[in-house]
Each structure stands twice: as C-alpha cells, then as structure tokens.
Amino acid sequence: MQVNARHFKEFSEKSYGEKLFESLFTWVEKVNWTKLQIKRFYSNIRKRIS
C-alpha cells in the first residue's frame, strides 16, 4: 500500500480526519486480535456468499 505523505498529513490535520484516526487507533488498541484470525474471516465471508 502506498500512502501520499502530504495528502495523509493534510487529511489528518482536518477535524474529521483527526476524529477518524482517533477512532481507528482506539479500535486497533481495543480489538481482540485473537478473534480476528484469517481462518474465521474467510469462514464468515463464505457464509455470507452462500
């Protein structure tokens, strides 16, 4: 994934950008990563497609 540093900085400095990143980082810190295993992820996708 490539990120344009200038655009990232501009976006993150805007009020909605700050709130979005704050929410994202809070989620990343609090998520139970053991429940987000790839195997389960694909299993859930297959259930939705079927």
User: Got the DSSP string for 21-47?
Assistant: HHHHHHHHHHS-GGGG-HHHHHHHHHH
Which range of residues forms the domain containing residue 38? 5-49
What pLDDT score does 8 carry? 82
What pLDDT score does 33 carry? 74
Per-residue pLDDT reduced to its tens digit, 1-50: 687 888 888 888 888 888 888 888 888 888 877 776 677 777 777 888 86
Q: How many domains does the chain have?
A: 1
Per-residue pLDDT reduced to its tens digit, 34-43: 776 677 777 7
Nearest-5° Cα angle at 14, 10 to 18: 105
